[in-house]
Amino acid sequence: MKNIKYLFLSILGVVLLFTSCQEDDISFGDITAPKNVTITAEIVGQDTDNPYGDGTGFVNFVATADDEISYKFDFGDGTSEVAPNGTVTHRYTSVGVNPFTVVVSAIGTGGTMSSTALEIELYSSFTDPEAETFLSGANVGDSKTWYWAANVALHVGLGPVDEDYGNGEFAYEAWWNAIQPFDEEKSCMYTNEFVFTKTADGLTFEQTVGPAFVPGTYADILGVATGDTCYDETVIPSMFGVKDVSFFPSSSMAALEGTYNDQPYRQSSFSISDGGFMGWYVGSVEYDIISISETEMQVRFIQEGGGYAWYAKFQTQNPFEVDDFPTLTWSDEFDTNGAPDSANWTYDLGAGGWGNQEVQTYTDNAENVSVQDGVLKITAKADGSGGYTSTRLKSQGLQEFTYGRVEIRAKLPSSQGTWPALWMLGANFSDVGWPACGEIDIMEQTGDNKTNILGTCHWFDSGTNAGASYGEITEVADSTSEFHVYSLEWTEESLRIFVDGTAYYTLTNSEDLPFYDKDFFFIMNIAMGGTLGGTIDPAFTEDSMEVDYIRVYQ
């Protein structure tokens, strides 16, 4: 609606520019206020049996005037709209029979206005008390604060408004569905806080912490030079302040005909008065509730002007305080000297290259593996005859897990040609083999660059009928002299790999991958040479990887 105002100002600006060129004539012409302003209202469904309408809350307004350019309607419920032709339909959402004073202002030349008012009384029957309670609480005076669900994948998405293409794309994030937790570009908005409060008259809304994110698709419409970034209230003045929340039945194609994850929409919508919005600014919008509970809400809303349908996830837990894995399920602190605990660990033994042209022979000898002074030590050694020994420790058949946060505190070897790894294999390895079982490399260190740390996942891709992998590299300058915590956060939505709490790797999980709802076991080893170990230092004698602990939280 602001486009009309801008058009009027632009026309006025042209007049000013034109007249400024006339040295002897600086008049604007006649400034005439509109006259004979009238307004009529048709309450939808009103008849003898339904004197206040059919309960939908719709009213059709028609305004007329002489010498007008446009019209502004103030509907008496805290909302307003500009209508150049004087015709507009508005939905009232206050439940019950309620009176409203509607004021229409006819706008004339020079910004002059003439107004008239109309009293109406109508009935609105729609209510969603459960959704209201979820948003704010059950009792008058209750409040609830909502946040972006920034800690989960796909907390923002984009799709078409009504294009189907045969697959229902209009009801889910068909165009953009790849955002990962704590996306760097969107990080400016993750501090947002949205407070819903139950009052005797309904719900109120207040954004208490800014700013607002403006996507690139709306930057030109808003009139800012840069999109896909945040702006404060000097650019979006409607961001703050207490506003009213109105509920009404959904009318979008997505809500009425579509599904999301094979589930129907709730078919309830809400809007926020006075230009209010929830963090993602694309003009005045109505929020279709896809789903809602006491702690989570997913909504769909259409960008002003149409063409783009946005999706957003919110939650009542501050995303920076979320602990998705609060319970320590299992750990080995390596507190007992001697061999590793046989309740947790067994061994791969022998030589054979292990698929990577490695040259070591794995043993369970104490010289290659032991627990001493609270630390597990795996040691690779030259055997004096041109060969090497080491240990490959595994929890297969003993400790296996699906999902959780894994933390391993370790210090890595420094010798050229050593290839240490902290990793996981699918527990169905014996049945389906590699890579069909899946592999999660929480930490691998290269043999020739001891500051390079790799996080990688491997699997079998049925589409190409071949092995597939995705990996990332980060740098840890003192990996061989200091202990660092190498972590994995693994859910049905994603796999994220960290060093000292900083994520550098994310893979979206799905039912098509072996990491979805499958048990995995741990492997810790040092290989020598091979595809990642590379050339071994000719003077190598021995080197160790030390592990302070391994912990699984779920």
Q: Which DSSP string corresponds to 161-206?
A: SS--TTTTGGGTT-SB----TT-TTTGGGTT-EEEEEEETTEEEEE
Distances (CA, A) of 548 to 206, 303, 376, 407, 410: 48, 52, 6, 10, 6
Q: How far lies 149's CA from each of 189, 288, 298, 506, in Å? A: 11, 17, 10, 17
Q: Name the catalytic one among 68, 173, 358, 439.
A: 439
Give the C-alpha separation, 90 to 80, whole Å.
9
Selection from 508, 354, 371, 502 nearest residue 434 by Cα: 354
Q: Which 8-state DSSP code applies to residue 105?
A: E
Catalytic pick from 68, 173, 286, 444? Answer: 444
Which amino acid is it at 162? Answer: D
Measured between alpha carbons, how far is 155 from 298 in angstroms, rounded to an integer? 9
Considering only the C-alpha atoms of the chain, give the largest distance between any 2 of them, rounded to a whole number of Å.
108
Whether 268 and 297 have beta carbons less than 8 Å apart is answered as: no
Cα Rg, the chain, nearest whole Å = 32
Q: For this structure, is 23 an active site residue?
A: no
Please, what is the Cα angle at 361 between 358 and 364, to 5 degrees?
Answer: 135
444 is catalytic: yes
Helix (H, G, I), strand (E, B) or coil at 438: coil
Q: What is the DSSP string of 292-358?
A: E-SSEEEEEEEPTTSS-EEEEEEESS-GGG--S--SEEEEE---SSBSPPTTT-EEE-B-SGGGTTB
Q: Which residues are catalytic?
A: 439, 444
